[in-house]
Structure 1
C-alpha cells in the first residue's frame, strides 16, 4: 500500500469524523460474523443510504404511475354549503309589474332570496377524452423504468466501492503482518547483537545500525496499524455499517489472486447502464413532447350531480329540503394561448437535441474508457507479476542475510538493508495487487459486466 493511497483514505475518513484511535489488533479481535465479499455487498444493498434512497425513488415512481392512472377514473366529490345572506341582493323591476297605474319608467326595488340557504350534493366527473392524460400515463410508466435503471446504477457503484474497500482491508492486514514479522525478527537480532556488544564481541556501530532499522520498521508498523483501522472504517462506511461495530473477513488475498488469473479481459461487452438510462431519458423527452402537443386537442368530460337544497329567513324555516340533479358533458377546445404552448414545445425539442448530443458523446467516452481500462488492467497485471517476483527475491535475500549474520559471516548493515528492501518490495507488491484489483473492477464497469446480483 503506497503512501498516496494511505493519505487519501485517511483524509476521507477524517472528513467523515471517523475515529481511528483504536489499534488494528482490537479491530480484528472483536466479535461478529466473518463476511465474504458477496456478503459485504449484500449487506450494503440493504443498508447504504444511496441504495435505500434509490429504492425509495423507485417506489415514488410507482406511486406516480398510480396517481396518473387515478386521473382517468371517476372523480367523486361531496359538497355541502351553508350561506347566511347578510344583505340580500336588491333587484329593480318596472313598477307597473306591481301597480298598473304607476308612471311609466318607474322602478320598484325587490329582493329575491332568503336569509339562510344550504345545499348538499354529490358531484361526479368522468374523463372521456384528454390526450394529455394518455401521454402522461405513458410518461409516468417510462419514468418508473428510468428510476429502476438509476437504482441499478447506484447498485453498480456500491458493488465497485465495496469490492475495492474489501480488498483494501485484506491488503492492509497482510502488509501489517509482514511488518510485524520483520519487526520481531529485527528486534530479536538487535537484542542478540546488544548482548554480543556487551560481551565485547561486536562493535557499537553494529548495535546502532540495528537500532535505527528497528526504529524505522516500528514506525512503519504503527502507520500500518492506523491504515488497517482506516481501511476497515472505510469498508464499514461503504457497507452502511456502524463504524463502531466489529467486522471480520472470511476471504484472503490468495482467492483474489485466483480471481485475477481467471478473469478474461475479452469478456463480451454489455450495454452500459449509463447508455440505457440515456435511452430512457430520450424516450421520456419524446413522450413529454407528445404530451405538450396533445394540449392542442379538445378535452371531453362527463359530469353529473345529485343533492338537496333548503332555505328560509330563519333557521326554523329550513326544515323542508328539495332535491336537485343534473347531468351533462363538458367540451373544451383551446384556440390561442399567446404562443405559450409553442414555446414550451420548442424548449422540449431543444432538450431532446441536447440528449441526442449527449448520447453521441457518451458512446465516444465509453469507447475510450473501455480501451483505457483494458490497457490499465493488462499493465497492472504484468506489473503485479513483476512485483511478486521482486518480493520473492527480496525475501530470499533477507533469509540469506539473516543466516549469514547468525553464522558470523554477515553484518548488521547487510541485514538492515535486506529488511528494508524486503519491506519496500512487499509494499510495492501489495500496491500492485490493489491496483490490479481496482483495474479489474473498473474494466468490468467499463464493459458493463459488473454484476449487482
Structure 2
C-alpha cells in the first residue's frame, strides 16, 4: 500500500510541475503539431490516398475467381432431332439430367489497357497531393498558434502599461486626498483623477478578459486540455532579420504546388479518357468440372473436367460521342486550372511584396511609437514634479497623462501589427516551417 501511495504522490508532483512549466512559442507549436486534431484528419487522408493507389494497382494485377453452380432442372429442356436421322419421325430428347453441377476457377490478367496505365501514373500525384495537404495543415497550425501566442504577449504588455497608469493615478489621488482634507484643493479635482482611475480599472478588466480568451484560443489551436493551466512565457518572440530583396519563388508556397498538381491530374484525366478509345487486351486461364445426375449426389459423384486458355481483345466502337464530350469537359477543366495557376502566381507575388512593405512600415511605426511612450513618460514625470511644486495645474497634469495613454495605445497597436506582419511575411514567402525551425 505504501508503494502505491508513493507512486501516486510522484505522479501528482510531476503533473503539478508539468502544469507550472513555462511554455515558449516553440514548445507551443511543437505540442500543437502533435496534438492538433486537424493533423489526424490530414494524416488519415494521406493513408486514404495510399489505399487508393493500391486499389488502382490492383486493376493491373491477376484476378482469380471461383464459381460454382447447382441447377435443379424442375422441367428438363428438350431438343428435337429431325426425322430421317434416327427414324421416320422427329425425336424429342433431353440433353441433360435433373441435377447439373458446375465448378470453375478462372485467372484473368490484363495485358494492355492504356487507361489503367494512365491511372497508375496519377497515383504518384495523388500521394504528393495528400502529403502537401498534410504539410499545409502543419503550416496552418504554426501560423494559428503563433498568432494566438502574440495575442497573449500583447495583452500582457497592455496590462503592464495599465498597471503603471493605475499606480500613477493612485499616487496622484493620495496627494489630492491630503490636499482636500486640508482644504487647499477642491473635491472636483480629486473626482477628475478618480474618474480616469476608474476608467483605467475598467480597461484593465477588459484586457484581463481578453488575455483569458487568448489563452483559450491558444489551447484550442494546440489541442491542449482547456481545464489544464497553461503558463506562457512573457518574453517577446525573437526578432529575425527582415527579408529584404528576397528572390520570391511561388513554388515555395504549398497552395501553389497543390494548384500545379491539380493541373497535372487534369492532364492525366484527359489522357485517360482518350485512352478509352484504344483496344484492351487480356488473357485468361480457366479450369473446371461439370456433373450430371438424376439425384443430387450423382451430380457431384462423376465430374467431367474441362480447361481453356485464351486471349480477349476488346475494341470500343460506338462510344465516340460520349467519350468525346467527356474529353472536352476535361480539357476545359484543365485550361481553367492552368489559368488559375497563373493567377495564383501573380497573387502570391503581390501578397509577398505587400507583406514585406507592411512589415517595414510596421517596424518603423513600432520604433516611433516606442519613442513616443518614453517621451510621454518623461513629460509626465516633469509635469508631475511641477504640479507638486505648484507651478502647473491639474488640467495640464491630466492632459499629459492622457497623452501618455494615447501613446501607449498606439504603441500596443503598432506592436501587434508588427508581430502579425512578421508571421504574415513568413506565410507569404512559404517559409512557416523554416520560421518554426529557427525558433
The TM tier, using the shorter chain, reads 0.7 to 0.9
Q: Does 1:265 align with 2:244?
A: yes
- What is the rounded CA distance, in whole Å, between the counterparts of 2:75 and 2:400 in structure 1? 107
1:101 aligned partner: 88
Q: Report the CA distance shift for 1:412/1:111 in structure 2 as closer, same or farther (over 3 A).
A: farther
Q: Report the CA distance shift for 1:297/1:66 in structure 2 as closer, same or farther (over 3 A).
A: same
1:218, distance to aligned residue in structure 2 (A): 1.0
Which has the bigger relative contact order, CA under 8 A and spacing at least 6? Answer: 1
State the Cα RMSD in Å: 2.5
- What is the rounded CA distance, in whole Å, between the counterparts of 1:312 and 1:36 in structure 2? 84
- What is the rounded CA distance, in whole Å, between the counterparts of 2:45 and 2:354 in structure 1? 33
Counterpart among 395, 401, 418 of residue 400 in structure 2: 418
Q: How does 1:8-407 map to 2 (within 5 A)?
A: 31-98=19-86, 100-102=87-89, 107-250=90-233, 252-253=235-236, 255-256=237-238, 258-259=239-240, 262-270=241-249, 271=251, 272-318=253-299, 319-406=301-388
1:117, distance to aligned residue in structure 2 (A): 2.6
Q: TM-score, normalised to structure 2's length?
A: 0.87
1:404, distance to aligned residue in structure 2 (A): 4.2
* Deviations 1:349-397, CA, capped at 9 Å, x for gaps: 1112112211222222223222222221211111111111111112222
Count the aligned residue pairs: 416
Q: TM-score, normalised to structure 1's length?
A: 0.84
Aligned 8 A contact 1:269 1:449 in 2:
no
Q: Report the CA distance shift for 1:88/1:45 in structure 2 as closer, same or farther (over 3 A).
A: farther
1:7 aligned partner: none
User: Residue 326 of structure 1: SS of its match in structure 2?
Assistant: strand
Unaligned runs of 5+ in 2: 1-16
- What is the rounded CA distance, in whole Å, between the counterparts of 1:233 and 1:410 in structure 2? 47
1:188, distance to aligned residue in structure 2 (A): 4.4
1:405, distance to aligned residue in structure 2 (A): 4.6
Aligned 8 A contact 2:177 2:190 in 1:
yes
Q: Report the CA distance shift for 1:198/1:77 in structure 2 as closer, same or farther (over 3 A).
A: same
- What is the rounded CA distance, in whole Å, between the counterparts of 1:36 and 1:309 in structure 2? 77
1:24 aligned partner: none
User: Residue 136 of structure 2: SS of its match in structure 1?
Assistant: helix
1:444 aligned partner: 426
1:3 aligned partner: none
Aligned 8 A contact 1:380 1:436 in 2:
yes
Unaligned runs of 5+ in 1: 1-28
Aligned 8 A contact 2:25 2:146 in 1:
yes
1:126, distance to aligned residue in structure 2 (A): 1.1
- What is the rounded CA distance, in whole Å, between the counterparts of 1:30 and 1:421 in structure 2? 43
